[in-house]
Amino acid sequence: MTQLRDLLASAVSFALPVTRTFRGLDVREGVLVQGPCGWGEFAPFDDYSDAAAARWLDAAIEAAFLDRPAALRESIVVNAIIPMCDPDDAALMTREALARGCTTIKVKVGSAELADDIARVAAIREALGSSGAIRIDANAVWSLEQAVTALRELAHFGLEYAEQPCVTADLRALRSRTSVPLAVDEGIRQTGDIENLGRQLAGSADVAILKPQTLGGVEATVRIAERLHDLAGMPVVISGSMDSSVGLSAVVAAAAAVPDLPFASGLGTGALLAADVVATPLSPVNGRIAVGRVAPEEAALARAHARVSPQRRDFWRQRLTDAWAARERLAT
């Protein structure tokens, strides 16, 4: 049985610089833990609660100490991701994604001015061409009326779907006022009641975004995908959380194990990292990422660990300890 002392004994904190600021971050930090089955990643964002971090710890423990569900596919089709940036940068990143074979682009929206979002999406569409798919993600920053207005304008560029354009409670009303398919993300990973949420989402949203690290790991993700399909008839998109290649390999494993995977998966966040814990990062080749476990490489992990300040090393050990305590409370 896994013990906290075992996790702390193997824990190695890491810091990876990013190529472009994302979620307000210039560096991505976390902890890797090792077990008999390999390595797991614990990297909840600083603003996540201890309860949310506990699910991330579940995912890390699963990756390090347990076997994964059987893979139903050998590789996964990947979408690229583009953060909030100016149109020229967005076009450049789109061309880079195309060079890696990615023809589906997820773009962050929700700028202070809608015109900035429109310019960004327009530049992506021009660089991508008419055959590629664009999906937008607003992280629920729009009100219902703002979402109606934004989707009316952005729909002209041909959207595969809009991810969490507003809070989940407003999705049903929004769906009746837009032709753009709607996807739910925050509404899933912030709930503790998938059964009730699944019934609420029937008729409110078209796609479910599942992030295995935030849901407790691969097995939990597969189980949630099956329940959402049964309760709401919703297909899923498996998405990463700006993980290192070690963490991303678990997300890829979830995408490989989900029975129905009709959309490209959100596994392209590695392009946002300027360094990794491996010499050759897990990234798409011909638009796909291969399924398989990834272990950190000694030199790359040593460099990543050296970037972590002593204060942040203490922070991450305490963060892991607090998540363990929350995990124990939730289990009782």
Q: Which residues are marked as active site?
A: 108, 211
Token pair belonging to 310:
């002593």
Distance, in Å, from the CA atom of 243 to the CA atom of 227, rounded to the nearest integer, reads: 26
Q: Could you identify the residue written with the tokens 């423990």?
A: 61
Considering only CA atoms, which of 141, 204, 198 is closest in space to residue 170? 204
Give the tokens for residue 259. 């029975």
H helical segments located in 129-203 = 144-154, 171-175, 186-189, 194-201
Contact 330, 54 (CB under 8 A): yes
End-to-end CA distance of the chain: 17
- SS3 per residue for 268-288: CHHHHECCCCCCCCCCCECCE
The whole-angstrom separation of Cα 226 and Cα 78 is: 21
**Is the CB of residue 197 less than 8 Å from the CB of residue 224?**
no
Token code pair at residue 74: 């050998």
Query: What's the half-sphere exposure (Cβ side, CA atoms, 13 Å) at 225?
Result: 25
Separation CA 57–CA 139 (nearest Å): 23
**Tokens for 331?**
């289990």
- Compute and round to an integer the Cα radius of gyration of the chain: 19
Looking at residue 264, what DSSP letter applies? -
In whole angstroms, give the CA distance from residue 216 to residue 218.
7
Q: Residue 81: beta bridge partners?
A: 106
How is residue 330 written in tokens? 């939730």
- C-beta separation of 107 from 93 below 8 A: no
